[in-house]
Structure 1
Amino acid sequence: MNAAPRPAADPHPADDRRPAADPHPATDPLARERAHLAASRAALRAMREDVESLDIRDVTANWVNAEVLQGQIDERIKALADLAHTPLFFGRLDFLHAPGAEQAEGGEGEQFYIGRRHVHDADGDPMVIDWRAPVSQPFYRASKKDPMDVALRRRFGYTGGDLTAYEDEDLTDAAGAEQTSRLLQQEIERPRVGPMRDIVATIQPEQDEIVRGGLAGSVCVQGGPGTGKTAVGLHRVAYLLYAHRERLARTGTLVIGPNRSFLHYIEQVLPALGELEVRQATVDDLVAHVEVRGTDDAAAALVKGDARMAEVLRRALRSHVTPPTEAVVVVRGSRRWRVPAYELDDIVRELLERGMRYGAAREALPQRIAHAVLVQMERSGEAPDDRVQDAVARNAAVKAAVKAIWPQVDPAKLVHRLLSDADFLAAHAEGVLTAEEQKAVLWAKPARTPKSTKWSAADAVLIDEAADLVSRTHSLGHVVLDEAQDLSPMQYRAVGRRCTTGSVTVLGDLAQGTTPWATRSWAEALAHLGKDDAVVEELTAGFRVPRDVIAYASRLLPHIAPGLAPVTSVRENPGAFSVRPVASAADVVAACAEALRHEGSIGLIAADARVPALAEALAEAGMAYLSPGEETTADSRLTLVPASLAKGLEYDYVVLDEPAAVVDGEPDERTGLRRLYVALTRAVSGLTVCHASPLPPQLA
């Protein structure tokens, strides 16, 4: 953060003594900026009214075109909405000279207001520049060492939607010391409760480099708690849509999150930036070929999620191809054309060796047989054309041969047979899975048909793999994959199929992996995605978690992710932090009551097994509480959170019950310590750790 306040223009708080409507606005910078904000909002309102007044009755040929065009107009109106409590612009750049040709809006000494979207006046002149435009880049990257031709950078402070303060940074003073912007620090430390908001006003240089990376390149962002990796991924999508709108409109974009609660938490970020067309889904949504009603134990899920299952499925699918034993005889008129079995076998072998998808090869087989017939026709003096070849490919004898040699395969039925037929699994898992692993994935009591099967989430991923082996999965232009550290190799492959011809932004933290198959290294994960060439970036500056809290949680890093650098909090406020011995659940309830004296939300996080006892203690004390996912209100600010559901959630204040129990609640110590690391880093303003048992030695 490279900003030093100018003494002549210190930040002016919301209750400053300057009048909101100065009778001489030319002499009052804050009044001038408020006037520009009012004029910009009026211009945005006029832009929206222009779209609303469009009459399409005479420009559409039919009702279908009218519906499509009206839908586009409605989306444009939504994109031009003026959010009352969201600042229309948050900064200003004063250039020394005219920007370059690629920034043609500018002139010498011109000022540019940087905001969430472009706003222009009635003459088409810009009043607010989109933060993604090239001319806006110096707002995030300019410094005294490299001012990027900027003379002055101004930041604005808001209360609600009202402009209440400003702060200037003179970038022409190369000898001056770099200082932290007070307004920037206030924005960073603003409580993070409620749905996730954009960080467009506080994007840092290292984040901006990732956000503005090219569409062709894939990137993996390793970031600890509170480093803004999710926000960076979402802003990257918004930037790519701005820079490559036509291409991505054709190929599509997708944001993948770990669960529905997480997607609900982030769903307002892109609309606030004017992007309404980005689809959001979970991995389970992507592979929803069957209804998931069952579960796997850890051993079965671990094997089903292993990338080796892809080879087992490939072998099982190819086993349906039967080498031909009889010739194909095609009758056309008075002539009979015979394709011998050995020639059919050569055709089948060639298709198999090409590595084509099963379905594509099956579609090619009748054309290859027909071509062999046409060669015989030409040798006999006939001159057949493509229509003859197509007719031969549709011949009943050819169809019968294709059905016998290369039958259709249903992906769900293939997986059903693999997991229910021990002999079939053994035949195709030989040399790939051990006998113990085969036993782990076999169903004890298989259903008779796929329709009656209680499929698990891991089974659905296997079916998706099989479906892709049969027919290619549609590829998108760009995919953002968040909380990636908890995906299995087979889930990575499922995501990778959705961006084979596009790029991907992977977001995650190896230290927060809590599944049995948690990612061990990003190189391994990127290989499963099919993006070995992706660049790995690491974010280590923390913006959400208070300094003392993240320092305490980072004691676990050498034990759970020894290769990772600890997060360094950039927040000036160290946050409220305490570790206190307790004698009973009543003492934990008392800690919650103490936390409720502060404003904001409170999270009581505990090992899953201890939740019922704590719920009873809260009830006895007459303290109402919510479950994870329920909205906090003025009367209900306390949420009781099982540790297994804490990932991705945030609370102003957290009371963490019995860290040792959180660790003991997992199948192994490493996973338990990672679960504890997640629980310790959910606090935005303060953390109280309560324990009756000794703390885990790793926290000493």
Structure 2
Amino acid sequence: MSEREPEWLVEQQRVDEVVEQVERRIEALELETSDAHSEMVDIRKNFWDDVTVNFEDSAEMAETFASLKQQAEILSERERTHRHAARQLRTLRKLRSSPYFGRIDFLENGETAADQVYLGIASLRDKADENYLIYDWRAPIASLYYDYPPGPAELQTPSGRIEGELRLKRQFVIREGEIVSLFDTGVTIGDKLLQEVLGRHSDAQMRSIVGTIQREQNRIIRNERSRLLLVQGAAGSGKTSAALQRVAYLLYRFRGTLSADQIVLFSPNPMFNSYVSTVLPELGEENMQQTTFQDYLAARLGHSFKLENPYAQLEYALRAELEPGYESRMSGIRYKATMGFVRLIDGYLGVLGGEGIVFRDVRFREEVLVAGEAIGAYFYGLDRTIAVPNRMRLTAEWLLGQLKERQKAALKEDWVDAAVDLLDKETYLKAYQTIRRQNRKFKDESFDDYDRERELLGQYVVMEAVKPVRARIKRLTFVDVRSTFLKLFLDSDMAARAASQAGIELPEHWEAICKDTIDRLLVKRMAYEDATPFLYVVERLRGFQTNTSVRHVLIDEAQDYTAFQFAYLQRLFPFSRITALGDLNQSIQAHADTGESTGFTALASLYAAEETETIVLKQSYRSTRPIVEFTSMLIPGGSEIEPFNRDGDKPTLTVAADADALEGMIGERLRQLASQGNRTIAVICKTASQSRAVYEALRDGVPLRLVESETSTFEPGVVVIPSYLAKGVEFDAVLVYDASGSPSGYGKETDRRLFYTVCTRAMHELHLFALGSAGPFLKGPVEAYFEQAQQAADMQTNS
């Protein structure tokens, strides 16, 4: 510190002054929140004492409701004030420990003195409320810190472009109010700060590192222009972190017009939701809506079908190669992921506009009210220039009219009298109140006339019998979507006409695909590859249930989505801006080798070029340089990935003669890694079944946890996890179980991306284990990038 001691002391003095102001505000806010909490408790406790309650006449009742409304509004306002103050208090407590992370000195052209700007996670004004002591990292001026080295710089503001010179860019590491590190840098973010941040052990949640945002990441965060923002980034390039910070920026930039519940994040699995759940609260913002695409499918289809999830589909693709029907199923998975299948379904829907929709009978008390054939005749008798969903609604209105006539006729039928005789006292009173409410002219009548009483109770009985039928008609359940969808696969002529209308050819294995699809749907099993196309047909026939309130949709691991899923999401969120993040080298789903179905290609085709922006992130920050150099050798084009210059050990390869030896070596390595202070360690297996077997073999010797597709929380410690569930998260150390070329390892070319994805989960250490011999991806030039460790004794010696 000696050379820079004067500067250091000046900066520390400023930190002390800022922390002092923060502490004063914390004291005031703690008192305010305490008072507000006490006031809320008093209001709740004495709520009814302060309300004038009188139900004797209408005027008094109106006064009662007004009094209730006033008390509720007072309580709501106090709760809102308390929440706001509590949120401010949480932010101030963070500022007390680390008030800011950066400083820039910017001299605007034409000015004589440079502005000093300090950047932190939130803004803070001085006690006179005149000047900013700290600027929020999301403020427009913060772009100078992220986008420019010292020298000429410009800033785009709502009032226009400002040009000038960045005289100084300084970075701090401040802990508990003390400056730990201070350095000036000539690049966007200094290596020293990144080294310090990235060298830490991993946590159970993703960290928010707003002080280390890079220029390309800043472009993602602050993009306001694009309808579709595509982010293609190497493993560990900070895609997800930038996306979450983008949400925080949007909530800051559009404060008052955009709320967290108008933003939706589609994540790869429930555990990932837990992993990223703390980022926005750390930045003082509420979490957006978080879900998975599978959860959405289950909500829509789970009550009608036994729905396969994407991990079950992937498990099948990875380990069922020798089962009968494997090739036809895989052909179907790949074809149904493509834009070709989207076009085929659109062609089929075009055909259905003229004929072919299957309608169910509408029944009332086990009798056919209107036969399905009659419904079809009415529907196709309507003007065919009217859109299909509108014709469905007109058909529903016609059916409701038929039901109304049947309702009138039912009043004179014997079953009604029988049902009236069976009414109990409670139902009788309910019927009486219902009839009075719905028939004002009978409001002052009493049931003192037997015939009148019988008539009114009969009306109630029939009305209750009709109610579920009316509800089903309004929901358009008279459309048999399953049979209509199946017809495409059952009727070769219909399929040919659909293909002709779409201007495409049916795929080579169409007959096998059809048989495979029919066999499942006839027993109400819904394969993952069929779920979205089926829902798409449902919505196109009945009318899309669009979500117009959501304004931003973020899709993580977008490379694993199919063309159909993107087409569906576009219709589901027609007014939303889309941010899609992914890495084509981590495409691991069963359809991943279908070029036409690759997420970005399919998604980009749905939006105009002028509405779309693509940002490519090439630098990888997660792993040490030796790990990135090794993983880059595993994939085509890996040389374009730029490793961040963080030292570490080369990955190791340990070959075992048999499964017992392999598990013994892994157990020993786990104990060694835990003793070295690693907080998150993963044994990554290829499949879920392999993970369960390894977990059972290791659990007695090492404290560990099995992660399955239903696991909803990400916790520190040692985990055994299938390859596909590890996507999107990171670990201090990764042990790859069986990197051999055997069926249980990674031997086929289709395993390449999966193997790459597994290895790129490691932050600090990567250890590969192989049963018998190393797999094909570990042969050739890549051998120079890892160390051979043949004996378990080597590990014991090293430890």
Q: Is the 8 A contact 2:222 2:249 kept in 1?
A: yes
1:482-514 Cα deviation digits (max 9, x unpaired): 011111222122322244223111100000111
Name the counterpart of 2:633.
555
Residues 349 and 98 of structure 1: CA distance in aligned 2, closer, same or farther (over 3 Å): same
SS in 1 for 2:766: strand
Q: Check conservation: 1:663, 1:675, Cα contact below 8 A.
A: no
Counterparts of 1:536-551 in structure 2, within 5 Å, are 536-551=614-629
Which one of the candidate residues 469, 474, 485 is aligned to 2:547? 474
1:143-158 equivalences under 5 Å are 143-146=149-152, 149-158=165-174
Contact in 1 for aligned 2:33/2:86 (Cα 8 Å) = no
- Corresponding residue of 2:269: 259
- Please name the residue that 1:135 is paired with: 141
Matches within 5 A, 1:412-427: 413-419=480-486, 423=490, 427=494
Provide the secondary structure at the position in 2 that maps to 1:591. helix
Q: For residue 120 of structure 2, what is the aligned residue in structure 1? A: 115
What does residue 227 of structure 1 align with?
A: 237
Q: Is the 8 A contact 2:228 2:607 kept in 1?
A: no
Q: Secondary structure of 2:119's match?
A: strand
2:683 is paired with a residue of what secondary structure? strand
Separation (CA, whole Å) in 2 of partners of 1:62 and 1:424: 65
- The yes-or-no answer on 1:441 pairing with 2:517 is yes
Higher-Rg member (1/2): 2
Task: Quickly say closer, same or farther: Cα 1:345–1:613, change in 2 above 3 A.
Answer: closer
Shift in alpha-carbon separation, 1:464–1:119, aligned structure 2, 3 A: farther
Residue 197 of structure 2 is aligned with which of 165, 187, 194?
A: 187
TM-superposed CA distance for 1:79, in Å, is: 3.3
Alignment partner of 1:567 out of 621, 625, 641: 641
Contact 2:260–2:289, Cα closer than 8 Å, also in 1: no
Establish whether residue 670 from structure 1 lines up as the match of residue 749 from structure 2.
yes
CA-CA distance at 1:525 after TM superposition: 2.6
Q: Which residue of 1 aligns with 2:760?
A: 681
2:150–2:165 Cα contact (<8 Å) kept:
no
Specify the alignment match of 1:656 in structure 2: 736
Q: 1:525 to 1:90 in 2, by over 3 A?
A: farther
Cα deviation for residue 437 of structure 1 reads 2.5
Contact kept, 8 Å, 2:630 with 2:651, in 1: the verdict is no
Alpha carbons 1:662, 1:675 under 8 Å: kept:
no
Query: Residues 34-73 of structure 1 correspond to what in structure 2 (within 5 A)?
Result: 34-43=16-25, 46=28, 62=70, 69=77, 72-73=80-81
Unaligned runs of 5+ in 2: 44-65, 154-163, 314-328, 356-378, 398-469, 500-504, 781-799
Report the CA distance between 1:479 and its aligned residue.
Answer: 1.1
Following superposition, the deviation at residue 231 of structure 1 comes to 0.6
1:367-516 equivalent positions in 2, closer than 5 A: 409-410=476-477, 413-419=480-486, 423=490, 427-428=494-495, 430=497, 431=499, 433=506, 434-444=510-520, 446-447=522-523, 453-469=524-540, 470-472=542-544, 473-475=546-548, 476-516=550-590
Structure 1 residue 645, shift from structure 2 partner = 2.7
CA RMSD of aligned residues (A): 4.1
Taking a change above 3 Å as real, the CA distance of residues 317 and 345 of structure 1, as seen in their structure-2 partners, is closer
Alpha-carbon distance in structure 2 between the residues aligned to 1:99 and 1:209: 25
CA offsets per residue over residues 585-615 of structure 1, 9 Å max, x none?
2223222232223112221223336445543
**Aligned partner of 1:263: which letter?**
N
Shift in CA distance, 30/62, structure 1 to aligned 2, threshold 3 Å: same
Residues 167 and 183 of structure 1 are in contact (CA less than 8 Å); yes or no, is this contact kept in structure 2? no
Distance 1:678-1:465 versus aligned 2 partners, 3 A rule? same
8 Å CA contact 1:605, 1:646 repeated in 2: yes
Distance 2:167 2:738 in 1: 54
Instruction: Give the Cα–Cα distance (whole angstroms) in 2 for the partners of residues 641 and 410 of structure 1.
Output: 42
Which residue identity lines up with residue 533 of structure 2 in the other structure? L
The separation in 2 between residues aligned to 1:653 and 1:590, in whole angstroms, is 14
Are residue 167 (structure 1) and residue 182 (structure 2) matched? yes
**TM-fit CA distance, 1:75:** 4.7
The structure 2 residue matched to 1:643, chosen from 723, 745, 749, is 723
Assess if the C-alpha contact under 8 Å between 1:310 and 1:465 holds in 2.
Answer: no
Question: Are the equivalent residues in 1 in contact too, given 2:193–2:212 (CA < 8 A)?
Answer: no
Matches within 5 A, 1:286-325: 286-287=296-297, 288-291=299-302, 293-295=306-308, 298-311=330-343, 313-314=345-346
Where 2:142 maps in the other structure, the secondary structure is helix
Q: Distance in 2 between matches of 1:258 and 1:675?
A: 15
Q: Residues of 2 paired with 1:646 and 1:548: CA distance?
A: 21
Amino acid at match of 2:775: P
Cα distance change of structure 1 residues 647 and 265 upon mapping to structure 2, 3 Å threshold? same
Give me the whole-angstrom Cα distance separating, in 1, the residues matched to 2:123 and 2:280: 15
Relative distance call for 1:425 and 1:45 in structure 2 (3 A) is: farther
Deviation at 1:77, TM superposition (A): 3.8
Contact 2:150–2:169, Cα closer than 8 Å, also in 1: no
Quote how far apart the aligned CAs of 1:67 are.
6.8
Could you say if the C-alpha distance between residues 318 and 691 of structure 1 is closer, same or farther in structure 2, counting changes exceeding 3 Å? closer
Distance across 1 between alignment mates of 2:276 and 2:693: 32
Q: Distance in 2 between matches of 1:485 and 1:662?
A: 27
Question: Partner of 1:603: helix, strand, or coil?
Answer: strand
Q: Which residue of 2 aligns with 1:359?
A: 389
Measure, in 1, the Cα distance between the counterparts of 2:485 and 2:354.
19
1: distance between equivalents of 2:89 and 2:166? Answer: 31
Q: Is the alpha carbon distance of 1:144 and 1:248 closer, same or farther for their aligned partners in structure 2, counting shifts above 3 Å? A: same
More divergent stretch after superposition (583-592 vs 275-284): 583-592
Separation of aligned partners in 1, 2:174 and 2:332: 53
User: Contact (CA 8 Å) 1:144, 1:178: kept in 2 or not?
Assistant: no
* 1:325-382 deviation digits (Å, cap 9, x = unpaired): xxxxxxxxxxxxxxxxxxx99982333xxxx4x3245558999xxxxxxxxxxxxxxx
Per mean C-alpha deviation after superposition, the further-off stretch among 222-231 and 69-78 is 69-78
Q: One-letter code of the match for 1:466?
A: V
Alignment of 1:281 onto 2:291: yes
| Structure 1 residues 448-502: Cα deviation after superposition (integer angstroms, max 9, x where no partner) | xxxxx34444444234313432323124311111011111222122322244223
Contact 2:226/2:612 (<8 A) preserved: no
| Pair 1:349-2:367 in alignment | no
Mapped partners of 2:115, 2:604: distance in 1 = 48
Q: By how many angstroms is 1:683 displaced? A: 1.0
Task: Kindly provide the CA deviation profile for residues 16-51 of structure 1, in whole angstroms up to 9, marking residues without a partner as x.
Answer: xxxxxxxxxxx5532431331342354366467657
| Structure-2 separation of matches of 1:578 and 1:605 | 15
- Residue identity matched to 2:173: G
Q: Aligned-pair distance for 1:76?
A: 2.6
Q: 1:43 to 1:641 in 2, by over 3 A?
A: same
CA distance in 2, matches of 1:36, 1:53: 26
Structure with greater proportional helix content: 2
Within 1, Cα distance between the matches of 2:526 and 2:77? 42
Give the Cα separation in 2 of the matches to 1:654 and 1:531: 42
- TM-score, normalised on structure 1? 0.74
Confirm or deny: 8 A CA contact 2:208 2:279 kept in the other structure.
yes
Match of 2:62 in 1: none
Task: Using the TM superposition, give the Cα deviation of residue 182 of structure 1 relative to its aligned residue in structure 2, in angstroms.
Answer: 1.9
Q: Distance in 2 between matches of 1:522 and 1:421?
A: 26
Unaligned runs of 5+ in 1: 13-26, 101-105, 172-176, 324-343, 368-402, 448-452
In 2, distance between residues paired with 1:264 and 1:534?
Answer: 30
TM-score (normalised: structure 2): 0.65
CA distance in 2, matches of 1:539, 1:194: 25
Mapped contact 2:189–2:214 kept (Cα < 8 A): no
2:681 to 602, 605, 609: 602
* Distance change >3 Å, CA 208–CA 178, structure 1 → 2: closer
SS in 1 for 2:385: helix
